[in-house]
Amino acid sequence: MKKNTFRKIKGIQTLGSWEFMWQAAVFLYIWIVSFALLIGLFIYIFVSLWVHQNPFSAWQENSSLQASFIFGLSISMFLFSIFFTLILLELYDRIIYRPVKSLLAEIEKTSGYRGLSSKVEFYLRGGKSSPLDLYNPQESWIDRVKEYMQTASNDRYFDDLTGCFNKKYLTGVLTEILKTQMMVAIPNRKMPRTIDTICYAFYLIDIDYFKAINDEFGHIYGDQVLAQVGRTLRDCVGSEGAVIRYGGEEFLLVVAHSYPMDYTKYAEAIRSAFCESVFVTSAKTKEVRAVTCSIGYTPFPLYDELNTSITIQEHVDLADQAMYLSKSGGRNTWRGIKPVKAPSSTMKLERLKVSLEYGIDNSFVCIVKPDDITAQKAAMRPGSYFTKRT
């Protein structure tokens, strides 16, 4: 069993949780050593008194038999600590770690969200902020897994074609969770951000020339593209948030970034992964054509000081406006909203919600876009038939 446990500890790194298991082993060993020292001291005192020796005499005054007994007892307690730690670690692995990992693997298969089974330590550790705070982080790990299973197995929140959440999940579940997050953040909104701060963002993605795909290849191929898109976006997001089929060929990503965050880098990573992974192939000519997307994003909340003044749906609408700027900018690109200063009145805020142009003109927001080199490479990408088509 010792050999098997050592092999597991050595291979834990491949499971993505080496640090947590190693910390568990160290924690157990420290407590067991402390316990072994107390037991060893009790045994030493008892035996010394039994043979009429002073247990607290100086080392030079100890007999050779007493010195040998101390040395042998120390070695025994050391070996006992190691052996007992390995036993407890083995029990922990069999009774807790492996069952939770298997359970998360089953959830992966059901929900299509990859990377859950490699984050077992998150469910067991608790207390640390994570993108999975979207699923009530204050609960115990058992409650978290049960709640995620209930959500993942609830058909009314899933889109069968793409394997993503549907709009009902946004309006019925995620909206309430994000509202709670914003209410909890109100007392800390003036505090400086740290590496533990979670910064949310909405990315609205629209498939370029999707109607042309349906018209030229047929709706069966259009459905295949939608399935590829769902799989690609889920792979991009992983366990960092949620992928929602917002409607038709539009997808909404609700992503939790760790501070400091780079929204532009993430948007470019999505665009790049999309055009490298989504294709449509002609059944007759076997011609393979790349499919691209246009992306618009906004931080959530747009303004920290107004985190309850702009609704979740209004944030989505702002991301939608940014996405249409991507469309007008040539497609296969992205546009982001960057807050500059918060509107000074409710009337100005209401106008900003419905018109990004008004916000730009009044320096409430600015539009972030790719640099010229990145944009040119995207526009001239070989084989991107639908991107070059006008």
pLDDT digits (tens, 9 = 90+) for 103-139: 666 655 655 555 555 555 555 554 444 443 444 444 5
pLDDT category, 174, cuts 50, 70, 90?
confident
Compare 128 and 84 and report the one with higher pLDDT: 84
**pLDDT at residue 270, rounded to an integer:** 94
pLDDT category, 385, cuts 50, 70, 90?
very low
pLDDT digits (tens, 9 = 90+) for 314-349: 999 999 999 999 999 888 999 999 999 999 899 999
Could you tell me which of 28, 10, 2, 4 has the C-alpha nearest to residue 83?
Answer: 2
Q: Is 80 exceeded by the pLDDT of residue 148?
A: no
**pLDDT at residue 340, rounded to an integer:** 92
pLDDT digits (tens, 9 = 90+) for 21-37: 666 777 778 888 888 88
**pLDDT at residue 388, rounded to an integer:** 39
**pLDDT at residue 21, rounded to an integer:** 64
Q: Is 90 exceeded by the pLDDT of residue 78?
A: no
**pLDDT at residue 233, rounded to an integer:** 94
pTM: 0.61
Mean pLDDT computed over every residue of the chain: 76
Compare 42 and 203 and report the one with higher pLDDT: 203
Mean pLDDT of 347-375: 86
Q: Is 70 exceeded by the pLDDT of residue 269?
A: yes
